[in-house]
Structure 1
Amino acid sequence: MADAIEQTYIEIPINLFFDTKEPIAIKDVIESLKGIEQLSKRVPELLHHLTGIEFGNYELAVSKIEEGSLDEIILLKFLEDPRLKQQLEKFKREHPQLTKAGYVTIGSIAILLLIGNAYTVLDNFLGNESQSISSSYNTNINITAQNLNLSPLQVEDAVKQTASHNRKKLVQNVLATTSPVAGHKNASIGIGKGDSTIKIPEETVGRVDFSANLNATNKDIPYEFVDMTVVTLNRENPNVGWQARIPSIGEKLLKLEFGEKINPSDFQFNPYYKVDVIVTYRNDIDHASLVAQKATVTKLYRNGESVASAEEQGDS
């Protein structure tokens, strides 16, 4: 029987460390490795957007887990082929600073960018808009741009393309990956060694809500004295079949409802109105922005004056 052909691999290491003075539970190390296993599935796509190199299938292996705070070294192992090898050698020649930067590799950079993006997505979803989280992410985008001879916008676009699908799963995987420092004081996350270290600093990690509820929720936002166009109405039933458009918030047709003091018959003769409304949005982490669902009219105006409600008209 002929000897089996031994497979050779091109290895791209991911070196991720957690700097903390507090003990790290074994269960969190296991959770972190599970998170990296899922998160790494996005790395070849992100590396392609950043470098132009087409990466194929890969295997994931744990190279080393070092003592101290926690230092995880993971290997992305791609089957070696002449095309990939030639492209990577060319990339190394054109970016010698990455070769000199110790453990800071393109694989580690990709993971850190995905972590920073997910923290930003989570922060925006929760409505916190933390300056520390956005600043840290922008700093690492700029560092990556300098290392790869790209513009910050090119790096940001590359991450967005990779992170745009199933954002909820991305955030879940990142929270699992970085769970070893959840709830720790003065803990940071980084890649590299010595002078080549790139970090997500203590203040940023401290502002991440590791226990956040990622399920979609509704959010009501009031608007006063805005234009509204009634597109579909139902004279027989004020509760069903009404749709409207509010140009100041977009062209989407919204389900139209009426507050308890609003008379729907006031909206049956002319499609254009000035109103106060409460717009209900769907806050879904898988969407980059709030998605408007319905509008509830709370006040109607004619000639700039508020129209009396049906109840008020009956009392007069």
Structure 2
Amino acid sequence: MPLAQTGDLVAAAAQAKSAVAAFNVITLEHIEAVITGAEAARSPVILQISENAVKFRYGRLMPLAQAARASAELAAVPVALHLDHVQSDELLRQAADAGFSSVMYDAARLTYARNLAATKAAAEWGHAHGLWVEAELGQVGGKKGEPPLDAHAPGARTRPLEALGYVRDSGVDALAVAIGSSHAMTTRDAVLDHDLLARLSGTLDVPLVLHGSSGVPDDELAAAVRGGIAKVNVGTALNIAMTQAIRAYLTANPDAVDSRRYLSVGREAMARTVTELIRTVRAGVPDADPVPIG
């Protein structure tokens, strides 16, 4: 089916008091696994390509983007493309032509004033080119190899009144909030600040996004959706599933050389993870209407 629009999927999820899952992809196997897992869950899904993934692919966006787009158009559920954690204005300006309907512009490394100015400029450019724009306020941690922040570390949280002014002045369409999760977690033991999430949800009139969801246990994730999170970002969980499955296969088959054998095992493991996480997100609001799939 035609590519879905990220903004439409997130708006539908927010209206249903649910959330749409967004998965970061690095290889074609990731892309196929996300779509297969979403089809098994009968759920819309967002494919995300990060700036770091583009750097891994020799700095070229189009090969992976075109693979994602072609795969999405063959899917049995709505699939949107999202360009994630973009710091490069040059990369931002490739988004619309590459089939993306949304971008997360990441200026969180900057001071508040510079963050706001850069994000406002990105949002204005994005809106002029048909892009839904997400931003981040409050350090999530764990990016670029630095240790994940403690859930109670100074600067690790998003302040509601500051966020209100930031959203108003920047013009972004959604805000990723720091409420205790962290990027690149390999254990699922993050404890979220649900009181803070309630204040953020009550203060802001844009959809809220949870980054670092791989490290959030099922009950915490479900509670976050009930508390107002409308988009749930997942990346590391797929890499863990793929790596563990391939490692187990190669341990059991030390003479294996056909990459299709172990890549298929890894792909299947990722697809199962996608289905399970989507069902966890949906379980957060069992009485809500499902996000429409067509």
What's the TM-score, normalizing by structure 2? 0.24
Bigger helix fraction: 2
What's the TM-score, normalizing by structure 1? 0.23
